[in-house]
Every structure is written in C-alpha cells, then in structure tokens.
Amino acid sequence: MSLVANTGKLAGRTLFITGASRGIGKAIALKAAKDGANVVVAAKTAEPHPKLPGTIYSAAEEIEALGGKALPVIVDVRDEKQVQKAVDEAVKKFNGIDILVNNASAISLTGTAQTDMKRYDLMHNINTRGTFLVSKLCLPLLKSSNHAHILNLSPPLNMNPYWFSVHVAYTMAKYGMSMCVLGMSEEFKPYNIGVNALWPKTAIATAAIEMLTGDTSTSRKPEIVSDAAYFMLCKDPKTYTGVFAIDEDVVKEAGVKDMTPYACDPKNADNLLLDGFLDDPQALAAHNNVTLQAQSVRRYHTSARLCKEEKTDAPASSGQIPQLFASISKTLSAELVQKTQAVYQFNVKGKEEGVWHLDLKNGEGACGQGEPKNAPDATLTMDSKNFTEMFAGKLKPATAFMMGKLKISGDLQKAMKLEKMMKSLKAKA
C-alpha cells in the first residue's frame, strides 16, 4: 500500500540499504524497485528466523518481482571487511552506488542500571559506528554519482533531557546516527551529496515489533516511511541536505492528504502511538510516564501468598486485585511456566495500592501479594484501575506502555510476554 506515486526518478540508480531483509529497510527497497532501481540488500539474515520472516534472498526475490535488480549480501555493519566486500560486489555488479540508506539498528529501551555493557556495545557498534563505517566506505562511490544521497533512519536531535533519562544508552546510540547527518551533510556539500535523516511520527508495524508486543493496532504500516524515503531520495541532493524529516510531514509535502490508509487499523487512525524524540506536546504526554528505570514506590511486605499449591490461603482483603490473583492462581500450570519463563513484580498504585507478584519461571508457578521469592525479571508499575483492565484484556500491555500508563524496569521483552500469557490465562479461566 503506497500513497506516493512512483515517478521513475530512481530508475537505474543503485541503493545500498542496510537491514533490508525485512521491515522498513525492505519497504524502502521495494518502493525503489518499482522504479527499476538496483538494490544491494545488505543484512545479516541469510537463514530464515523461526519468528521473524524474511532473509536477504527472499527480499531480493521480491525486489526483482517488482522490476528492480537485487544483490543480496551478508553484512554485519560492525565488520569493516564485510562492509567493504559488499561495497566491492556492488561496484562489480552495478558499477557504483548512488544512494546509501543506513537503516540497520539495535534497540534496548532500558535504564542505566538495567543496560548491560554487551547490549550497550551492540547498540553503539551497530547504530553509531555502523552508520559511520558504511558511510565512510560508500563515500568514494557517492562522490562519483550525479544523484548521491545518504539517508539515516534516525531521530531529530532533541536535547530535551527527558529523552535521555528514559533510555540514555539507546538515545546516545540513535543520536550518534543523527550526528552523522549533522556533520556529514556539511562535510559532503562540496561533493553534492545530500545527507538527511528520516524518523516516523508514530509506531511502525514491523515483524520485530509484532513479535515483541503482539499488537500493531495503534501503529502505521512501514509504507509511510518508504513513501517518505522515496520522496526524499528523489530530491536534488545539491540543495536538499541536512534535513531531519518526519515521515508524516514528508508525505504531506508529497501530496498525501489522508493518512488513514497508512494505519494498521483504520479505526485507530486518530489514536496512534507517537514515537519518541519528537518535540511535540503529544509525544511528551504519551511518554511522560514511560521510564524503564527502577521506580521508588511504597512496598508492602506480607507473607500471604497465593500459589498453585495453596489456593485456599487467599488473603481476606477486599477489592478487585485479590480476586484477580485468586482467579489467576487457578490457571497456573507447569506448561504455562515453561512457555513464559519469567518472574513479574507489580507495584500497584492508587485505590488498591500494594505489591503483587506472578512467578511463571519456577515449578508450577505462584502468585499473590508481596514481593516474589525469586528476583523479578520485570517490574511493572501502574495504577490499580489500569492494572485490572490489563488483566481483564481491556488494555494491552504494549498499548499501556506506549501511552505512559505502564512503567517497566528490567527485561522489556519478558514484560511484553504478559500479553500472550494473559490470553492463555483467559482461555483457561
């Protein structure tokens, strides 16, 4: 689904796209392929992933089916030799490179204490160093092109401290990509190379996001980004450079008036989750309470625990949450534990303030009031009303998180497993 018409301006041009085996990278590749462009599919995925569809070879087939030419190459952007080999192969097959799209990226939305250095290094080596490296090695070829562009999928440089506070390591890594735009756009002006950044206004539904959250209903399709990228890459690089663009603004400039078709669920077209780093009051409001750092909350210590083996020992306190955990305790099983492998702590605020736990990592599972016996993999903080709605299936964890109704510290991926777990609990109830 594309709302920006192809003009043929990229016909015969060669695009080198990192991370092009799936998601936004592939969407940009397919859009260019409709012009008859050549695409170097530079990504790590050579073998099918059990949960994430797409390889460099399947992407290449789709590109050629649309009229483009493709060169699939295995590239880890952290490896200089692999990148140089891919550049050399591009020259051999297509006689040069006109456009570089730095799309490959790693993400970990964790606070300082929760970010291990292996993950820190991965983000900085892929996002910042990878972008710099690929740009450096493609530069000699871009200098020889009469339509040279570098496009980084990175955010505007918003110096609001908030965007650093919620996930400083990730912010630094993404801003490293953006600083490449800031510096290279000025440095490469004498060579007539346009260097720009593109960032989505809303959450974008990709296979990776769907696997992580299980919910794309408040996201837009990748085509809004590929439409925007295409429009930007068709501009004159001599005059269009140093721009930090937002996808929605670009497609509006291209003539798109109705954004509804880009929404995964048209019913949510006016209620989409805004992306981060935007200098926008709505974006700040949506993320104001989203922090992955440990939160200081009042702890309630109690020995009363509900578990599979002690269902009848439910605490006598009234309210929806004790009843909820009593219901959950009846559905626990070794099978559910095996599937989930996570311990959760819930810091509930508001009317039914307290601390609760759900152990889906040990034995046949356990749940109840108080902190878990074993260290939690993820700690979730939210208001009691939102908490009960979440476990009732009325509010999805991913949606609650992005709207700022849910704060998470610890392992984000395990926290998002709650969505599938809750569906399983509901089916058994």
Q: Give me the CATH number covering residue 96.
A: 3.40.50.720
Residue 327 and residue 217 share a domain: no
- Spatial distance between the Cα atoms of 62 and 230, rounded to a whole number of angstroms: 17
Instruction: List the CATH number of the domain containing 418.
Output: 3.30.1050.10
Q: Do the domain assignments include residue 407?
A: yes
Domain count, the chain: 2
Residue 197 lies inside a defined structural domain of this protein: yes
Residue 294 lies in a domain: no
Strand partners, 408: 380
* Whether residue 26 is found in the same domain as residue 138: yes
Count of residues in the chain? 429
Q: 311 and 273 share a domain?
A: no
> What is this structure's pTM?
0.71
Same domain, 335 and 400: yes
* Domain annotation covers residue 58: yes
Query: Annotated catalytic, 170?
Result: yes
**262 falls within a domain:** yes
* Tokens representing residue 72 in the block: 């699939």
Alpha helices, H only, 124-194: 130-143, 161-165, 168-187
In a shared domain, residues 63 and 203:
yes
In order along its 429 residues, the chain shows pLDDT tens digits of: 799 999 999 999 999 999 999 999 999 999 999 999 999 999 999 988 776 788 999 999 999 999 999 999 999 999 999 999 999 999 999 999 999 999 999 988 888 998 999 999 999 999 999 999 999 999 999 999 999 999 999 999 999 998 998 899 999 999 999 999 999 999 999 999 999 999 999 989 986 566 555 568 889 999 999 999 999 999 999 999 999 999 999 999 999 999 999 999 999 999 888 888 998 766 665 554 333 332 222 222 223 333 333 333 333 345 788 888 877 888 888 888 888 889 999 999 888 888 889 999 988 888 888 888 889 998 999 988 888 888 777 787 777 777 778 888 888 778 877 777 776 665 555
What is the spatial order of strands in the sheet that 342-349 belongs to? 306-307, 366-369, 354-360, 342-349, 378-383, 407-410
**Residues 252 and 316 reside in one and the same domain:** no
Q: What is the spatial distance between Cα 283 and Cα 41, in angstroms, rounded to a whole number? A: 33
Judge if 119 and 234 occupy the same domain.
yes
372 membership: H or E segment, kind and range: none
Tokens of 297: 């909350």
Catalytic residue among 57, 120, 170, 300: 170
- 403 and 315 in one domain? yes
Burial class (CB in 10 A: 0-12, 13-18, 19+), 364: middle
What is the extent of the structural domain holding 368? Answer: 306-428
End residue of a domain, out of 234, 262, 278:
278
The 3-state DSSP class for residue 164 equals: helix
110 touches 160 (CB < 8 A): no
When computed from its CA atoms, the radius of gyration of the chain, rounded to whole angstroms, is: 24
310 and 274 within one domain? no
